Amino acid sequence: MYCRRTEGIVATDMAGSPVHLTKPVLLLAELYRRLDPVFCRVMWSSLDFGNFSGTADASGGFFRGSSTTSAKKALQNRGVMPCTCAEIISATQDGDKFVSSTGVQFSQVTLVGLIRSVNESATRIDYEIDDYTGPSVLVKQFVDDDDSPADSGSGRKLREFTYVRVYGHVRSFQGDINVVAFKVFPVTDFNEITCHIMETIYARMLHAKAASSQTKGDVTTKDSAVNMVTNIRGLTALQSQVLSCVRAALDDNGVTVSQICEKLRGVPEKQIRDDLDFLSAEGHVYSTVDDNHFRVTER
């Protein structure tokens, strides 16, 4: 297993001041590496953990449903998967998807790590991201002419030894796996590092049980299980409703703010726009033809 000494690691904050990683962060990273492979079937729910066919309920049990046609088929994800560099590097390509060593399919990921190096060209910025779980991952962020420093998702070159959160698509070129980012944000609260590691560990353990249930022919269909995971991800009830409205859009340009207001009668337009900004910053949705049209990132 890939491992290295992590004591004495120093990062920098946005002002360039050195920040020593706390022992809990390093211990969590070590715990992540030591997790038994049995607990490595990670996917997000149909809202935030992908479209996984088995999900634990709040009591630790499972809802009975129809049996699957193949228990050995890789678990498919249609959302954003929380993961580490080690998972990305060790994944194998299967068409336009990637499969982890435990059989989980994914294409869009989010990770948190330290920028080890930065290479800038006219069209893109390349970041070498390291989260101390395995080899570094190359993150490619393409820069548009219209991007400005005020654009929090793109167009800003970040410095080395800055912690960032990345949302992007996993790609492979000449056998090398990398991530093409659609959003790269600096981490301003270092609790986010701990939160991301805990979130990944929890998702592994939660969906290990769900995978076991799938093998036995158990499939989740109840909304309460979906709502449980949604709450874990920190979405409010209204944010979940807004996300559902965006997901239901059939038009290639997505759903408009006015259409969401029509569905969620009584909710102020400003509140809906604020929730859309939050969902966009978290990587759940993105604007299309203008600031009034939105689609989910999983499509």
Question: Would you state the pLDDT for residue 21?
Answer: 54
What's the CATH code of the domain at 245?
A: 1.10.10.10
Domain-terminating residue out of 215, 250, 267: 215
Residue with tokens 């207001």: 261
Q: Are residues 203 and 258 in the same domain?
A: no
Other residues' Cβ atoms within 10 Å of the Cβ of residue 88: 26
Q: Are residues 198 and 244 in the same domain?
A: no
Segments forming the whole domain that contains residue 17: 10-215
Q: Are residues 170 and 287 in the same domain?
A: no
Q: What is the DSSP string of 164-220?
A: EEEEEEEEEETTEEEEEEEEEEE-SSTHHHHHHHHHHHHHHHHHHHHHHHHHTT---
Q: Are residues 27 and 113 in the same domain?
A: yes
Q: Are residues 158 and 257 in the same domain?
A: no
Q: Are residues 73 and 171 in the same domain?
A: yes
With respect to residue 223, please indicate whether it lies within any of the assigned structural domains.
no
With respect to residue 227, please indicate whether it lies within any of the assigned structural domains.
no
With respect to residue 20, please indicate whether it lies within any of the assigned structural domains.
yes
> Which tens digits make up the pLDDT trace of 166-179?
999 999 888 889 99
Domain-terminating residue out of 151, 186, 215: 215
> Which tens digits make up the pLDDT trace of 217-250?
544 444 444 444 444 356 788 888 888 888 888 7
Other residues' Cβ atoms within 10 Å of the Cβ of residue 155: 18
With respect to residue 174, please indicate whether it lies within any of the assigned structural domains.
yes
What's the CATH code of the domain at 86?
A: 2.40.50.140
Closest CA to 162 of 139, 142, 190: 190
Predicted TM-score (pTM) of the model is 0.52
Least confident span in 8-17, 33-42, 273-282: 33-42
Question: Would you state the pLDDT for residue 60?
Answer: 36
Domain-terminating residue out of 180, 215, 250: 215
Domain count along the chain: 2
With respect to residue 225, please indicate whether it lies within any of the assigned structural domains.
no
Q: Are residues 275 and 175 in the same domain?
A: no
Burial of 106 (0-12, 13-18, 19+ CB in 10 A): buried
Phi-psi map region of 174: left, alpha, beta (phi>0 left; psi -120 to 50 alpha) = left
